[in-house]
Amino acid sequence: MWPKLIVSLLLIYCLAARSANAWSANEACAEETTSVMINNQNDSTCVSFVLCYVAKDGLLRGVVKNCRSGQYFNASLGYCSVAKPDGCA
C-alpha cells in the first residue's frame, strides 16, 4: 500500500509543478500580432515585463526585461512608470 501511495503523491506533485510552469514568454507573445510590451505573469512585483518582438523568421518571440530601478510595469499603459500598479506585490 505505501509504495502505491508514494508513487501517487509523486505523480500529483509532478503534474502540479508542470502546470504551474506552463506559462512562457514565447507562448504569451504567440498570442500577439505585433511587437509589444506585455505583463510578465511570473512576476507579481511588476518590476519586469515581456518584450514581444518579430524575429528574423517572422514569428513573434518573447524576452523578459526589467524596468529601471524604482519603476514598475503598468500593463494598462504598456510601459514602466514610477507609479506602482494595483495588484503588484
In SS3 terms, 24-48 reads as CHHHHHHCCCCCEEEECCCCCCCCE
Residue 3 lies in a domain: no
Residue 15 domain-assigned (yes or no)? no
Tally of domains within the chain: 1
Q: In which order are the strands placed within the sheet that holds 36-39?
A: 36-39, 48-54, 60-66
Grid-cell match 509523486, residue found = 10
Tens of pLDDT along 61-84? 999 999 999 999 999 999 999 999
Residue 4 predicted with pLDDT over 90: no
- Residue 60: strand, helix, or coil: strand
**Spatial distance between the Cα atoms of 60 and 28, rounded to a whole number of angstroms:** 9
Residues spanned by the domain of 56: 23-89
Kindly state whether residue 13 falls inside one of the protein's structural domains.
no
15 pLDDT above the threshold of 90: no
